[in-house]
A and B are shown apart, each in its own frame.
Chain A
Amino acid sequence: MRLIETRKGFRSARLLGGWIASAAIATVVWADAPPPEKVALTNVKIVPVVGESIEKGTILIERGKIAALGKDVEIPYDARVFDLAGKVAFPGTIDANSYRGTDSPNESRPVTPQLDTSDSIDPSQLYYEDMLRIGTTTLNIMPGDNTVIGGIGRVIRPIGLTPAEMTIAEGAFLKVCVSPKMGFDRMLQLATLRETFAELDEYLNRLAERRYDEKLKEDEKVMDVGVAEAKKRGRDLIRAEDVDDEHRNILRVRGGQVKVLGEAGPTLFKPLGAFISCGAAMDVAPAVTFAKDHGFIDRTVLVLDGDCFKAIKELKAAARPVVLTSNLVHRETDPLTGKVTQTFVPKKFADAGLLFALTPGVDASLPERMLTYQAARCVREGVARDEAIRSVTLSPAKILGVADRLGSLEVGKEAYIGIYSGDPLDFASQVEKVFVAGVLAYEREKDVRMQRLTEPPAGEKK
């Protein structure tokens, strides 16, 4: 019989392909032992997001995944048992669009499709600790909004020593921004977007000609045809390694298939989706039209800010998922009368039946950083509770393409669980424990930094 706290060393191969989480977190005080392979959370109220809540249930986590969940679950003798009477288990919330946690959100160059945020993710930033404190266990780190084409993002968990350890899913979306970059106006912004895609066509044409030329040189022949014919013949000779960094991700956004002189060639890459950022209602129509014209509307997610809810008709027609910023209330002052109109933005999207995800306001007031608080505000304004809860868990998971692994508490999904002291949407509840991929990544009672903030100075009574 072997205790789980084995001192033989961590069998990393079993747990999500080899990351060593034990050393990663400064706030968590580990026992000097690797995490147990089996964990049972007992007597806990489960809010699974999918299906009915279970008043007093058990969650069994094996090797980072939820192996069993329900009222009567047989707990193996070698599981580490947590008795969580009075607590609530909720999936870790998911931030669908974050620009924090990196070196710098944007470049000064307007078009940078070759960049990957994984190159600038800084695992030592306090941002990741703070996300654990408020129960957010999955983050989609994308470039910021001050760009035309920003680069690709990555879905990560907030624990790990390197971006590779933190990665849940590799970059599946390119950042495109329709609202103007600083110093640009919309005419220049959209002209730059179109120019980038048009330049890709020119590049592929020249590349086809070059490849044909190279092939002739290999065969020690002389160029025997005109330019247009050389391009046609070179089209199928283009290989993945010939496409340079400047153009690869743009080609991927278009579907990965080479087009030379209007005719289709080989498909070299996996398609890439796009997160198109719209700052105002007037940006929605150009964004949707642009995505349609270049054939990536089916892989597009719209990130909406400001008064984009006014374009709800265009959004319904496009039928694409939507990520909302943290400004849930849009205020407008009538310039003539001075009257202030307030609109609660997520309600418009809930009423329209669109798939929407909320994001935390990391620059805003403290409560707006908590996705559970944002969801609670939605409930207060009339959004159905189920819809509000989904908008911070399952909906962002679907948008990011990781809904088979995250977003709810179901058997077979990975164990990203937040344990709250009460209803997760109750502002008085606190995050007590956080499990990230089955590893106990955060414990409030052992959170040294939090205690330093909340304990009274020496000599004062509490």
Chain B
Amino acid sequence: MTLFSKHRAAANRSSRVRPLLVTLLCAAAVGSVVVAQQAGRGAAAPVAAAPAPIGDADKSGPSFAVRAKAVYPVSDKQPGAIDGGVMIVRNGKIAAVGADLPIPADIPLIDLRNEVICPGFVAAASAILPPHAGPHSISGAYQAVDGFDAYGDYAEQLALGVTTAHISPGGHRLASGRGAIVKLAGPAESRIVRGDSDLSINLGVYNPPRLIKPPFYASSDVAITPARRQGPESRIGQLFQVESVLAPNADAGAANFHTSAFTSAWSTGLTLRIQARQAVDIEDAVQLALRYKRPAYLVGAAEADELADSLATAGMSVVLRLEQRYRGPDNPVGPDPTAFDAQIRVAGRLAKLSAEKGFLLALAGAEGDGAADPRMSAALAMRGGMSPEMALGGITRTAAAILKLEKRVGSLAPGMDADFLVMSGRPLDL
């Protein structure tokens, strides 16, 4: 039995520590969140005037105080656990966190004598959305926010503790579109945190389908144009493909709605989210970020430890995906029972390097695994030598920082959204 399935089986049995209850309380001011949602849903075409907020303007979240056996704030000021900690929530936002805080009389107290509180997990890379069904290999027009079901029931992900997730249009095309950041519970109008969060580029994927454009009013007089091939067809072509679209004197005739959407998304300065696993692709990613001087972060990164220096120079953060299916260059066929060993080592090394070189490191699960367990990623990373604080941070605070949401989610600190988990034991005890 491999390491992975042993842990998975343990988690599936009634294990000692499980998130008992996930309490998700979204931001108080619906207005500001809704504006973000409406703006995010805008088309590649210029959006009309400022959207009006929907829902009640004075809607606010609940207020209460929680006293637990231990509170893990996962913040700069308070690393580590607070035993007998108290957290005060007002209107859906955290007002105060500390040990033995005076509990105000006007709000109810939830006394959790045997349970532990930690921030809701942030999935910096998730697979909630299947990849988009379109054929274009370079597009800025497919938006993950379009596919997100704001009314959906995400019990499967919530049961694993994920409260905020990044959704991507897919990892199957060179430039698959625009990602978004969403919350998995709460009223539908406030679930979309950021509708337009990044431009998703995937290196190491080739051979997109051909583009077929049937003639309008097909008749015997109208020739059927052959299906158009798209790049990239090999690793050599992938960066070239991106650059040919972005070049200032790009061929206007070959431009279409999707490539124009890509260039306009690029020109608004959206963060690049580059998914690359092998070292050669990671090198390409670093080159892309440096050449165009764009904010960018790396996802996947199974061989990132070899390039830690360049990553640090480029200022790129890393979201390490712990994937069983990744096959290294030495294992071209079949499932690799020792695949996790390599990744565990990489996680350990990256943990050390991130501390040394100063780039952010977050943890995520496998692509395509819709119910990826963040605590499993953390456990594997700890096995590789990552410290528990860094591992917990990798699925909460650091992930939020990479997604530029550190002021809203990922830790329990005053002013942040009250998204937290109630766990029956320490968060990382599987």
Q: A residues bordering B, Cβ < 8 Å? A: 109, 183-191, 194-195, 197-199, 201, 245-246, 280-282, 285-286, 289-290, 292-293, 295, 307, 310-311, 313-314, 317, 335-336
Contact = CB atoms under 8 A, between A and B. Distances in A.
A340 to B, nearest CB: 14
Given A307-B151, A314-B54, A281 B143 contact: no
Given A183-B133, A188-B132, A311-B188, A194 B141 contact: yes
Contacts, number: 99
B55 A313 contact: yes
18 contacts: A183-B133, A187-B142, A187-B177, A188-B134, A188-B142, A194-B44, A197-B43, A197-B45, A198-B45, A199-B257, A282-B150, A282-B152, A286-B41, A289-B38, A295-B48, A307-B151, A311-B151, A335-B153
A109 B258 CA distance: 19
Given A185-B133, A188-B134, A293-B48, A286 B146 contact: yes
B155 A336 contact: yes
B42 interface: yes
A438 to B, nearest CB: 41
A194 B133 contact: no
B19 to A, nearest CB: 14
B322 interface: no
A285 B51 CA distance: 12
A295 B45 CA distance: 13
Interface in B218-277: 257-258, 260
Interface of B: 37-38, 41-45, 47-48, 51-52, 54-55, 130, 132-134, 139, 141-144, 146-153, 155, 169, 177, 188-189, 214, 216-217, 257-258, 260
A310 B134 CA distance: 29
Q: Is the interface of B mostly helix, strand, loop or mixed?
A: loop
Given A185-B130, A293-B48, 16 more contacts: A187-B134, A187-B143, A190-B143, A190-B146, A191-B132, A194-B45, A195-B258, A197-B43, A201-B45, A282-B148, A286-B41, A286-B146, A289-B41, A307-B151, A311-B188, A336-B155
Contacts of B43: 194, 197-198, 290, 293
A423 to B, nearest CB: 38
Contacts of A191: 132, 134, 139, 141-143, 146, 177, 258
Contacts of B51: 289, 292
Contact of A186 (B48, B139, B147, B217): B147
B142 A317 contact: no
A296 B214 CA distance: 28
Contact of B257 (A195, A292, A293): A195
A433 to B, nearest CB: 46
B165 to A, nearest CB: 16
B44 A198 contact: yes
A187 B169 CA distance: 8
A94 B148 CA distance: 36
A82 to B, nearest CB: 51
Contacts of B44: 194, 198
B149 A187 contact: no
Given A194-B43, A195-B257, A281-B188, A187 B214 contact: no
Contacts of B150: 281-282, 285
A188 B54 contact: no
Nearest to A193: B43
A457 B331 CA distance: 76
B214 A109 contact: yes
Most chain B CB within 10 A, of A187, A188, A190, A191, is at A187
A189 B146 CA distance: 9
Most buried by B among A185, A293, A317: A185
Contacts of B189: 285, 313-314
A183 B134 CA distance: 10
B54 A313 contact: yes
A391 to B, nearest CB: 25
B379 to A, nearest CB: 26
A161 B144 CA distance: 49
B47 A293 contact: yes
A64 to B, nearest CB: 39
B133 A188 contact: yes
Contact of B151 (A198, A280, A292, A295): A280
Nearest to A332: B153
A227 to B, nearest CB: 10
B45 A293 contact: yes
Contacts of A317: 52, 54
User: Could you say which of A186, A245, A313 has the most chain B C-beta atoms within 10 Å of its C-beta?
Assistant: A186
A281 B146 contact: no
